[in-house]
Amino acid sequence: MNEEPQAKGVSGAAEAALHYLRPGTLQLSALPPLALYVHLPWCLKKCPYCDFNSHENRGELPEQRYLDALCADLESSLPLVWGRRVQTVFIGGGTPSLFSPAGIDRLLADIRARLPLEPDAEITLEANPGTFERERFKAFRAAGVTRLSIGVQSFDDAALKRIGRVHDAAQARAAVEEAAASFDTWNLDLMYALPGQDLAALARDLDTALAFRPPHLSVYHLTLEPNTFFATHPPVLPDDDTASDMLDLITERTSQAGLQRYEVSAFARPGHRCAHNLNYWAFGDYLGIGAGAHGKLSFPHRVLRQVRWREPAAYMQQALAGTPVSNQNEVARRDLPFEFMLGALRLREGFHLTGFAERTGLPLSAVLPALQQAAQKGLLELTGDRVVPSARGFDFLSDLQAMFLQDKPPG
């Protein structure tokens, strides 16, 4: 990895910005939209399937110190994004709804004081029913949050217990009702292929979820990720054929309910797609602040990846000292096609070839052979300037994305 020196506060970041503006091998005709991701790493209990950078809160939450660290992190990062407007803000975790509404209000005020946000910027907060209190969601809305994402996962008490969630079905329903009363747009998260789940159980979960008429529904296949409790203590999960039947049921039922599948795991009513995630999938830029946060920033001749210090205590110490970034590297030219396709091919509507050139700074010749091969295999449809994954490509997305991996040179 071509690792760059760690940032050294505001002056160091300014020097880094000049460094990244130097000539290079890429040629980006314009910088992509910029988003901000804020990571709040604490949760009530670590879920056994979770491989995110989340930490069980044991004792008093260091809310004010962490907010101070986020503010310092943002200030030290400003030279890298001078003059760019922020389209969306996403506050993820962990369980961000553990933070008080006053804390979220302060966070958003700190952000607005330092970054130019679009007047209609989408501001999303992740919330879990286990942290739900009546009127709390309204307070988040009053603080400036425009979109709530609720991690329900299931409305079945037994299923929730098997996957280690801290809330029950009654709390889940109450949280969804409060979200619907407090927000014009909100997202409900479900999981499927859970331990012990069959088609009938999934149908009941869908019945309950769709009865709330969610503007947006995200439905994720439970997978066993490395470095999780489930990886070393794997539960018995539905087989692949059953999981496939479950996905067919999900796509059928969501379509009947008026939700359009616009991404592999995302379904939305018109006007309610998640703008922040769309920017990710379209290879847009995002500044990531907070413990373990990742970021991607473009410059005229290169694309930069950043990672913040992972452990909350270390992050707070380093951010307050002006050095929030633990490592950063320039994305290698040969890796850009695969990184672009990881997101773009998740979208039902695909992407424009001109978008690939604009976002990567590479000529179309870098991906044309792989595109043609994928089309011959029936995984893609090429229509003029547009590239769209076929139904088969959606079903075998990992295989399709892997076609854009380029062998690294020897040595």
Asked if pLDDT for residue 266 goes beyond 60, the answer is yes
> Is the peptide bond preceding residue 94 cis, with omega within 30 degrees of 0?
yes
User: Max alpha carbon distance in the chain (Å)?
Assistant: 60
Measured distance CA(282)–CA(341) in Å, rounded: 9
pLDDT tens by residue, 125-149: 999 997 767 789 999 999 999 999 9
**Predicted pLDDT of residue 132:** 64
Class for domain 9-278, per CATH? alpha beta
Q: What percent of the chain has pLDDT over 70?
A: 95
Q: What per-residue confidence (pLDDT) applies to 99?
A: 96
Same fold for the domain at 9-278 and the one at 333-411?
A: no
Q: What is the pLDDT of residue 48?
A: 82
Residues 354-385 pLDDT 10s: 999 999 999 999 999 999 999 999 999 998 89
Q: What is the predicted pLDDT for the residue at 95?
A: 92
Name the more confident of 12 and 274. Answer: 274
More confident residue, 225 or 31: 31
pLDDT digits (tens, 9 = 90+) for 179-195: 999 999 999 999 999 99
User: In this predicted structure, what is the pLDDT of residue 193?
Assistant: 96
Looking up tokens 């809330």 gives 167
Per-residue confidence (pLDDT) for residue 17, from 0 to 100? 78
| pLDDT for the residue numbered 1 | 37
Dihedrals phi, psi of 30, to nearest 5 degrees? -160, 150
Three-class secondary structure assignment of the chain: CCECCCCCHHHHHHHHHHHHCCCCCCCCCCCCCEEEEEEECEECCCCCCCCCCCEECCCCCCHHHHHHHHHHHHHHHHHHHCCCCEEEEEEEECCHHHCCHHHHHHHHHHHHHHCCEEEEEEEEEEECHHHCCCCHHHHHHHHCCCEEEEEEECCCHHHHHHCCCCCCHHHHHHHHHHHHHHCCEEEEEEEECCCCCCHHHHHHHHHHHHHCCCCEEEEEECCCCCCCHHHHCCCCCCCHHHHHHHHHHHHHHHHHCCCEEEECCEEECCCCCCHHHHHHHCCCEEEEEECCCEEEEEECCEEEEEEECCCHHHHHHHHHCCCCEEEEEECCHHHHHHHHHHHHCCECCCEEHHHHHHHHCCCHHHCHHHHHHHHHCCCEEEECCEEEECHHHHHCHHHHHHCCCCCCCCC
pLDDT attached to residue 287 = 98
In the structure, what pLDDT confidence band is assigned to residue 11 with cuts at 50, 70 and 90?
low
Percent of the chain surpassing pLDDT 90: 81
Q: How far apart are CA 169 and CA 166, in angstroms?
A: 10
pLDDT (tens digit per residue) in 213-260: 999 999 999 998 888 888 888 899 999 999 999 999 999 999 999 999
Contact 20, 77 (CB under 8 A): no
Who has greater pLDDT, 20 or 330?
A: 330
Would you say residue 9 has pLDDT above 70? no
The CATH architecture to which 333-411 belongs is Orthogonal Bundle (1.10)
- Alpha-carbon distance of 170 to 156, in angstroms, equals 9
Domain positions in the chain: 9-278, 333-411
pLDDT at 342: 97
Contact 340, 403 (CB under 8 A): no
Band (pLDDT 50/70/90 cuts) for residue 407 is low
pLDDT in tens, 55-102: 888 889 999 999 999 999 999 999 999 999 999 999 999 999 999 999
Question: What is the rounded average pLDDT of the residues 268-292?
Answer: 98
409 has a pLDDT exceeding 50: no
Edge-to-edge strand ranges of the sheet holding 216-221: 260-263, 266-268, 216-221, 185-192, 147-153, 117-127, 86-93, 34-40, 285-290, 294-299, 302-308, 325-330
pLDDT at residue 205 tops 60: yes
Name the residue among 367, 316, 328 with its Cα closest to residue 17.
328
How does strand 266-268 pair with strand 285-290? unpaired
**Interval 327-352: pLDDT, tens:** 999 999 999 999 999 999 999 999 99
